[in-house]
Amino acid sequence: MTRRVLVTGGAGYIGSVIVDQLLERGLSVFVLDDLSTGHRDAVARRASFVQGNVGNGELVEALLGQERIDAIIHMAAFALVPESVAQPGKYVTNNVTAARVLLEAAVRAKIRRFVFSSSCAVYGHPAVIPITEDSPQAPVNPYGETKRDFEKLLADYGPRNGLGVVSLRYFNAAGATEQRGEDHDPETHLIPNILAVALGKQPAVSIFGTDYPTADGTAVRDYIHVVDIADAHVRALEVSLDSGAPVAVNLGTGAGQSVRQVVEVARRLTGRPIATVERARRPGDPPALVAAVQRAATVLGWRTKHSSLEEILESAWQWHRAHPQGYRGGGEGT
Ligand code: UDP
């Protein structure tokens, strides 16, 4: 049984919701985050917070030992496809090299479970939709390459050393809770950008690519509520692994939505017009990414409960209206 969990990147958008759910279940939670993209105010006060990078071996080793950590949820990484195309070295250094320091420390500290925040970006341009976990891995951007590379390192090295490994390949995380929401600078993600237009903070949302081989020509993604993603991590801490073998699991709904469909639902829910501008495709973007969800049901006993596009957009809309400046306007501090 896991009692004391380290969440790296726990000050980030998804990590902060995971921290809340772990605390609700009575676990002791430790957050390691260098605040390069996260927010101190996104971390629940009941969690212990350490500011630092996962590549700092001394710090990580001391934390794992002194706090008697028994499981790690590793979220700390850079996660923007366009930025990874512009600065691939930055992604390798943080997402692979620094993460490896954490992995080695985890093995030395005899941690029992390592849950890794991976991505559907490992699949690249999939030939078949929905995408099963056994589909070929051929990332089309440096971000996806770093996720594939660290997953492989983890799967090769962890179990041989007694570490139980679960990699969760998220599709498109979206939505909010009352207290935690998406606040990136710069914001590149579709849903917060749409809502910024609805709030009058931006004049129009860009539609990147209208000539994809999809029903309406815009790119298709599988949007999944951050609350459902967090729930999968909590489950992944306890699932029993077949002879200790590493496992990779998609987290998605199994249904895709086009950029235009997301804009339409947002218009309906917010009652705001939401102007759009059609632009060229964004480099590194595959046309369609939709998860096959069977393995998540079998391995984690998990299915989405909050991931209708309506619930995702409604929750995000509430959060952005309550926090128009994001965490800079003062977080909840709870
Ligand atoms: N997208 C868009 N306008 C935006 C942001 C994103 O048209 O302002 C498109 C993007 O090209 C992709 C989809 O929306 O096809 C989802 O992009 P996002 O950055 O949210 O997530 P990603 O799939 O890159 O992780």
The torsion angles phi and psi of 301, rounded to 5 degrees, stand at: 60, 35
CATH number, position 89: 3.40.50.720
Q: Is 219 in the pocket of ligand 1 (CB under 6 A)?
A: yes
Asked if residue 125 belongs to a domain, the reply is yes
Q: In angstroms, rounded to a whole number, what is the distance separating the alpha carbons of residues 231 and 239?
A: 13
What is the pLDDT, as a whole number, of residue 331?
Answer: 46
Q: Relative to the CA of 193, which ligand 1 atom is closest?
A: 8
| CB 290 near ligand 1, within 6 Å | no
> Which pLDDT score is estimated for 242?
84
What pLDDT score was predicted for residue 330? 56
Q: Which domain holds residue 46?
A: 4-174+224-252
What is the reported pLDDT for 334? 58
Pocket flag, ligand 1, residue 282 (CB < 6 Å): yes
Residue 60 near residue 37 (C-beta atoms within 8 A): no
**What's the domain count of the chain?**
1
Q: Which two tokens stand for residue 252?
A: 């998605």
The predicted structure's pLDDT at residue 1: 83
In a domain, 283, yes or no: no
Q: What tokens were used for 217?
A: 């020509």
pLDDT value of position 150: 98
| Position 276 in a domain | no
Residue 231, Cβ neighbours under 10 Å: how many? 21
Whether residue 60 lies inside any domain: the answer is: yes
Whether residue 143 lies in the annotated active site: yes
Written as six digits, the tokens of 130 are: 């929905």
Q: Is residue 311 part of a domain?
A: no
Helix residue spans in the chain (DSSP H): 13-24, 57-66, 81-86, 88-92, 99-108, 142-157, 190-198, 226-236, 259-270, 294-300, 309-322
Rounded to the nearest whole angstrom, what is the distance from the C-alpha of residue 180 to the centroid of ligand 1?
21
Residue 111: inside a domain: yes
Among 229, 227, 230, 236, which Cα is nearest to 299's? 236
Q: What are the angstrom distances between the C-alpha of 45 and each of 6, 76, 332, 333?
A: 15, 19, 10, 7
As a whole number of Å, the end-to-end CA separation of the chain is 27
Mean pLDDT, the chain cut into blocks of 10 residues (334 residues total): 95 98 98 97 98 98 97 96 93 98 97 97 94 96 97 96 96 98 92 97 98 97 98 96 93 98 98 98 91 98 97 98 86 50
Question: Which one, of 170, 232, 197, 234, lies nearest residue 316 by Cα?
Answer: 197
